[in-house]
């Protein structure tokens, strides 16, 4: 019925560049009133950049946006809201101590001379909740007391009170239970009936198929394909997401796996991982694939003792490992964090400090350091890994991302770790450095060290690893030799919603 109408949201020829990376190039995208448009793509394909442009958090370098026929160029999320564009994120933006009503009306309070007019607010809040089919939510309940699903409703109700014409959902189901997902879908369908334009971003193609009318696939910052979902097989969409064949950018070093060095037995954390089991051999590279939020980081952090372990065991060379980073380092484990800025490196300290923090013993006598000796060793590591810096005393913050990552890797090598846990070691790094890191990982395996390589970029895992484990919602769902995987099967395994094992009804911790 609305097919003939002009699209409510039109993004035309949008481009955005961050430093050296072209995040979006010439992306065009439109959604009609009463349409649910799925926006899918691999991590890093540009979905979140596109949404940040829509929500006013970023400005596009080129291109135009129209909402309801009017030119739209928001300078801030506030302006986006005023123009009728609302975003519902994975992480909710609510004030937990305020009531449902206060949260819904936040920034739009009905007031006179600074006094709240609750009598005027109440019907608007109730109307929004009724529209969502959840009139039973008490407006005066504190948001903290609600389930995650109900909190999401509050956020959607806020969008309605703000007269949102376009509502974008960014991975809204990843922290919801199965039941809450069903509720949410009902709510979104109601919104469609009221003539709003919905953008729905998800990794879960099954959900997309259940809910959406049309799809747009992004890959490497471009539109890889778009159309109606009716009659399109899932594998066709996966093919669009994954794209072309493997580029020749993955140098490998021959190596042969030996006996089992690390074994993880039904390891469970506070939320993730869920009863994860793995085995890692000497001289083996084990890839761990999964979508963002699948629990990969939590898995290796739990192995290393950085995240609390609820149950399960980790053994290194058959010896039980205590759950603390100190014990892990003593047992020969090393970790490279995915978050270089926040965790991996002390940004205001020197290369020498960061490289040796985990092992200062060789340079100290009774607690006093021999700095000259340390400096010589640090410099030899810097030259082995080709760290480009002015000197070993230079501050980490002054280095490029690639050089910082090399320092983080050098630290793990300097502490002579036998098991390396690498979390997204190539994220945010230029292509040349990536190749250097792949080669280094190969060399380490050839030396007899074992590597767990976590990545959300399946090409690099397929090229570099001996075996690949796939995680979904905190579980290790499949482990196979790398030769038995391909881009399609690995994506499908990661996207598959695994409900057979239960646990889905647990309320996730906020």
Partner 1 sequence: MNDRRPEPQFDDSDTIGSVLAKKWRYDWRVTVWLFTKTALGPLFIVWALFAVLDAFQQYGGSFAQIRSFQLIVVHTAAVAVPAFGMTIIIIAGGIDLSVGAAMALSATVGAWGFLHGHSPTEAVCLCLATGLAAGILNGSLISSLRVVPFIVTLGTMMIFQGAGRWLAADTPIRPPLASFAPLADFQAPFPTPAWHIFSPGVWIMLLLAVAVSLVLRYTVFGRYVFALGSNEATARLCGINVPLVRISVYALGGLFAGVAGVYQFATLYQGNPMGGVGKELRIIAAVVVGGGSLSGGRGSVLGTLSGAAIMAVIDHGCTTLGIGDMYQDILIGAIIVAAVAVDQYRQRKMAAAV
| Residues at the interface with partner 1 (CB under 8 A) | 306, 325-326, 328-330, 335, 337, 342-350, 353-354, 357-358, 360, 364, 367-369, 371, 376, 379-380, 383, 390-391, 393-395, 397-398, 411
Give 189's Cβ-side CA count (13 Å radius).
11
Residue 323: CB minimum distance to partner 1, A? 13
Residues 6+ apart with CB under 8 A from 136: none
Residue 371: CB minimum distance to partner 1, A? 7
- Nearer CB in complex with partner 1: 186/341: 341
User: Which of 81, 75, 83, 82 has its CA nearest to residue 57?
Assistant: 75
| Sheet containing strand 70-71, strands side by side | 21-31, 9-18, 62-67, 70-71
Residue 324: CB minimum distance to partner 1, A? 8
What separation in angstroms does the CA of 445 have from each of 51, 394, 415?
40, 30, 16
Residue 425: CB minimum distance to partner 1, A? 14
- Nearer CB in complex with partner 1: 186/390: 390
- Nearer CB in complex with partner 1: 266/386: 386
- Nearer CB in complex with partner 1: 109/393: 393
User: Which of 245, 235, 199 has its CA nearest to residue 29?
Assistant: 199
- Nearer CB in complex with partner 1: 401/504: 401
Residue 358: CB minimum distance to partner 1, A? 4
- Nearer CB in complex with partner 1: 376/501: 376
- Judge contact between 41 and 22, C-beta under 8 A: no
Element housing 479 (H / E): strand 475-481
Q: How far apart are CA 496 and CA 509, in angstroms?
A: 23
- Nearer CB in complex with partner 1: 9/331: 331
Residue 294: CB minimum distance to partner 1, A? 22
Residue 156: CB minimum distance to partner 1, A? 34
- Nearer CB in complex with partner 1: 112/361: 361
Q: How would you write 218-278 as a 3-class SS string?
A: EECCEEEEEEECCCCCHHHHHHHHHCCCCCCCCCCCCCCCCCEEEEEEEEEECCCCCCEEE
- Nearer CB in complex with partner 1: 251/325: 325
- Judge contact between 159 and 167, C-beta under 8 A: yes
Q: How far apart are CA 505 and CA 467, in angstroms?
A: 31
Residues 6+ apart with CB under 8 A from 464: 250, 252, 285, 287, 438, 441, 442, 453
Q: How far apart are CA 389 and CA 403, in angstroms?
A: 8
Residue 350: CB minimum distance to partner 1, A? 8
- Nearer CB in complex with partner 1: 220/395: 395
Rounded to 10 degrees, what is the CA torsion of 456, 462, 467, 471? 30
Token couple for 64:
């135009």
DSSP string covering 379-437, please? HHHHHHTT---S-TTSBGGGS-HHHHHHHHHHHHHHTT-SEEEEESTTTT--HHHHHHH
Residue 300: CB minimum distance to partner 1, A? 12
- Nearer CB in complex with partner 1: 153/389: 389
Residue 368: CB minimum distance to partner 1, A? 5
Tokens 């003939």 correspond to what residue?
4
Residue 327: CB minimum distance to partner 1, A? 8
Token couple for 427:
């994220």
Q: How far apart are CA 105 and CA 129, in angstroms?
A: 12
Residue 352: CB minimum distance to partner 1, A? 10
Torsion 418-421-427-431 (CA) sign: positive
- Nearer CB in complex with partner 1: 195/325: 325
């Amino acid at each position: 019925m609305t097919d003939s109408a002009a699209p409510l949201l039109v993004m035309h020829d949008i481009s955005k560049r961050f430093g050296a990376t072209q995040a979006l190039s010439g992306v065009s995208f439109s959604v009609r009133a009463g349409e649910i448009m799925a926006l899918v793509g691999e991590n890093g394909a540009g979905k979140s950049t596109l949404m940040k442009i829509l929500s006013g958090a970023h400005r596009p370098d080129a291109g135009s946006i129209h909402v309801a026929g009017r030119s739209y160029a928001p300078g801030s999320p506030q302006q986006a809201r005023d123009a009728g564009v609302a975003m519902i994120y994975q992480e909710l933006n609510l004030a937990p101590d305020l009531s449902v009503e206060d949260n819904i009306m936040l920034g739009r309070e009905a007031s006179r001379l600074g006094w709240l007019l609750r009598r005027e607010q109440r019907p608007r809040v109730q109307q929004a909740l009724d529209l969502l089919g959840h009139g039973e939510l008490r407006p005066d309940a504190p948001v903290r007391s609600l389930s995650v699903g109900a909190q999401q409703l509050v956020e959607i109700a806020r969008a309605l009170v703000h007269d949102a014409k376009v509502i974008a959902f960014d991975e809204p189901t990843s922290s919801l239970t199965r039941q809450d997902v069903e509720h949410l879908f009902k709510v979104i369908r109601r919104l469609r009936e009221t003539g709003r334009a919905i953008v729905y971003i998800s990794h879960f193609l099954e959900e997309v198929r259940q809910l959406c009318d049309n799809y747009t696939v992004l890959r490497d910052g471009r539109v890889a394909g778009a159309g109606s979902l009716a009659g399109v097989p899932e594998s066709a969409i996966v093919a669009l997401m994954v794209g072309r064949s493997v580029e020749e950018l993955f140098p490998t070093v021959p190596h042969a796996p030996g006996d089992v060095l690390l074994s993880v037995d039904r390891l469970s954390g506070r939320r993730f991982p869920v009863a994860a089991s793995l085995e890692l051999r000497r001289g083996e590279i084990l890839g761990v694939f999964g979508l963002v939020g699948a629990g990969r980081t939590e898995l290796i952090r739990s192995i290393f003792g950085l995240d609390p372990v609820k149950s399960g065991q980790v053994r290194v060379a058959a010896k039980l490992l205590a759950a603390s980073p100190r014990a892990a380092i003593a047992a020969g484990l090393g970790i490279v964090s995915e978050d270089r800025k926040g965790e991996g490196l002390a940004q205001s300290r020197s290369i020498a400090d960061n490289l040796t923090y985990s092992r200062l013993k060789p340079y100290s006598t009774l607690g006093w350091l021999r700095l000259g000796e340390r400096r010589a060793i640090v410099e030899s590591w810097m030259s082995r890994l080709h760290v480009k810096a002015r000197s070993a005393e230079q501050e980490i913050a002054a280095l490029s991302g690639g050089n910082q990552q090399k320092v983080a890797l050098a630290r793990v090598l300097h502490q002579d770790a036998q098991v390396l846990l690498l979390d997204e070691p190539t994220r945010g790094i230029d292509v040349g450095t990536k190749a250097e890191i792949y080669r280094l990982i190969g060399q380490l395996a050839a030396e007899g060290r074992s590597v767990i390589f976590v990545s959300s970029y399946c090409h690099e895992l397929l090229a570099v690893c001996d075996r690949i484990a796939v995680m979904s919602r905190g579980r290790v769902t499949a482990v196979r030799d790398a030769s038995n995987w391909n881009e399609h099967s690995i994506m499908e395994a990661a996207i598959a919603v695994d409900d057979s094992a239960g646990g889905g009804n647990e309320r996730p911790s906020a």
